[in-house]
């Protein structure tokens, strides 16, 4: 355990024994300006967080439990940093509503804390208006519970918004599918494809096509350590960012 500064941020981790939670506990424990005060797993008492005086709770659990966790933390006046996926626009509105009753309280929800992944999304958004075709392909380990990934969904939403703003219609596509799913899922008019394979962690390609050229943006997380600088950045920022922040893009500049 690292030496703890007297004014260290008191951090609790939800989903502490999961693939991400384990890494997050290590990263928080090693950060000189943070103190890991609670590690909560499925079946544990959420009040362990408040009993331990957690100021910031980091959640890497599951889409089906994250809303209850978040609601409880907000109710208790605890800031939250959330990496768990499954945040639909309707869920985001509910979180904003809960936060509106707690002035000064912050929540940062990010589909991806990898700096490279955040930049990939930014580059995809910037490039989208210049190409008539755009598709997203995500690749993950086979134990991932959701598809498409939160990152792929967010990337497709950003591309769709940029295309709409530029007055672009749908990507050209004359295909009739012989089998359902052959052309992937549709996220606001942008096709998203999900690959699951042993040997992978988290990877994504954004393929943009125009007359006689393609641009492929690719990001690879080959180790979950890739998410830790972003998680720590958000944990340091959240206490002075009241309300809801979606993504860590705005924290990078």
For residue 148, whether the previous peptide bond is cis, meaning omega lies within 30 degrees of 0, is yes
Backbone angles phi, psi at 80, to 5 degrees: -135, 145
Tokens of 52: 């331990």
Query: Is residue 96 a contact partner of residue 226, using CB atoms and an 8 Å limit?
Result: no
Query: CB atoms < 10 A from the CB of 70, how many?
Result: 26
Give counts: helices (H), strands (E), the chain.
7, 11
Q: Tell which one of 50, 149, 226, 235 touches ligand LZUJQKHR (CB under 6 A).
A: 149
Is residue 107 close enough to count as binding ligand LZUJQKHR by CB under 6 A? Answer: no
Is residue 61 close enough to count as binding ligand LZUJQKHR by CB under 6 A? Answer: no
Q: Tell which one of 50, 112, 125, 155 touches ligand LZUJQKHR (CB under 6 A).
A: 112
If the CB atoms of residues 39 and 105 are measured against ligand NDP, the closer one turns out to be: 39
Binding mask 193-212 for ligand LZUJQKHR (x = CB under 6 A): ---------x----------
Q: Which strands sit side by side in the sheet containing 9-14, from one edge to the other?
A: 34-40, 9-14, 56-59, 79-82, 106-109, 243-246
Could you say which DSSP state residue 227 is in? G
State in angstroms the smallest separation of the CB of 136 from ligand NDP: 16
Is residue 148 close enough to count as binding ligand NDP by CB under 6 A? Answer: no
Is residue 110 close enough to count as binding ligand NDP by CB under 6 A? Answer: yes
Q: Taking CB under 6 A as the criterion, which residues in 44-63 touch ligand NDP?
A: 60-63
Q: Tell which one of 16, 23, 95, 140 touches ligand LZUJQKHR (CB under 6 A).
A: 140
CB-neighbour burial class of residue 43 (10 A; exposed 0-12, middle 13-18, buried 19+): exposed
Q: Name which of ligand LZUJQKHR, ligand NDP, none residue 139 binds, using a CB cut-off of 5 to 8 Å depending on partner kind.
A: none
Query: Is residue 2 a contact partner of residue 232, using CB atoms and an 8 Å limit?
Result: no
User: Which active-site residues does the annotation give?
Assistant: 140, 144
Is residue 155 close enough to count as binding ligand NDP by CB under 6 A? Answer: no
Could you say which DSSP state residue 247 is in? S
Residues that bind ligand LZUJQKHR (CB under 6 A): 85, 111-112, 140, 144, 149-151, 202
């Amino acid at each position: 355990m690292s030496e703890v500064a007297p004014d260290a941020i008191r951090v609790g981790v939800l989903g502490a024994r999961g693939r991400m939670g384990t890494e997050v506990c290590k990263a928080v424990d090693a950060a000189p300006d943070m103190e890991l005060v609670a590690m909560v797993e499925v079946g544990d008492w959420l009040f362990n967080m408040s009993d331990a005086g957690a100021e910031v709770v980091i959640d890497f659990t599951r889409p089906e439990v994250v809303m209850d966790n978040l609601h409880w933390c907000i109710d208790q006046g605890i800031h939250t940093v959330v990496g768990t996926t499954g945040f639909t626009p309707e869920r985001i509105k509910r979180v904003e509503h809960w936060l509106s009753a707690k002035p000064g309280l912050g929540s940062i929800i990010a589909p991806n804390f990898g700096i490279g992944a955040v930049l990939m999304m930014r580059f995809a958004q910037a490039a989208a208006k210049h190409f008539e075709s755009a598709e997203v392909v995500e690749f993950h380990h086979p134990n991932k519970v959701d598809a498409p990934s939160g990152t792929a969904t967010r990337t497709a939403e950003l591309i769709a918004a940029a295309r709409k703003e530029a007055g672009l219609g749908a990507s050209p596509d004359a295909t009739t599918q012989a089998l359902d799913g052959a052309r992937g899922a549709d996220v606001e008019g942008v096709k998203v494809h999900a690959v699951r394979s042993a040997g992978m962690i988290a990877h994504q390609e954004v393929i943009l096509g125009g007359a006689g050229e393609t641009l492929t943006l690719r990001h690879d997380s080959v180790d979950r350590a890739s998410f830790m600088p972003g998680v720590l950045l958000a944990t340091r920022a959240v206490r002075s960012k009241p309300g809801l922040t979606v993504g860590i893009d705005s924290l990078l500049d």
